[in-house]
Amino acid sequence: MVTAYDYPSAVHLDSAGIDICLVEDSASMVVHAHDTTLPITLDEMLVHCHAVARGAKRPFLVGDLPFGTYESSSHQIGIYFMISKYESEDEENGNENG
């Protein structure tokens, strides 16, 4: 398992034959320069997940939920999973709407 936050990293891990890619909420610190993982939002994580999904076609992708997201907005998480599922199925069928 390897962590990626963006398209270029995802392309590299895809070409390296990595089986699992994790998009972690540590993007808050690594990409956005926060002191902790707490400030990152679900919408920001979704942007990172989309970028990684476009670059990593082969690995199984795991998206980390930001701290407290599950407890505070289960409806929003349901929408997050529906959007992700739709876009992955759409790309599998050759449509580039995602």
Query: For the chain, how long is the longest CA-to-CA vector?
Result: 40
- Residue 86's pLDDT band (boundaries 50, 70, 90)? very low
Nearest in space to 45 (alpha carbons), one of 12, 16, 73 = 73
- Please give the residue that has the higher pLDDT: either 38 or 98: 38
Q: How many CB atoms lie within 10 A of CB 4?
A: 26
Please state the domain extents for the chain. 2-92
- 62 pairs with which residues across the strands? 22
Under DSSP, the state recorded for 16 is: T
Predicted structure pTM score: 0.74
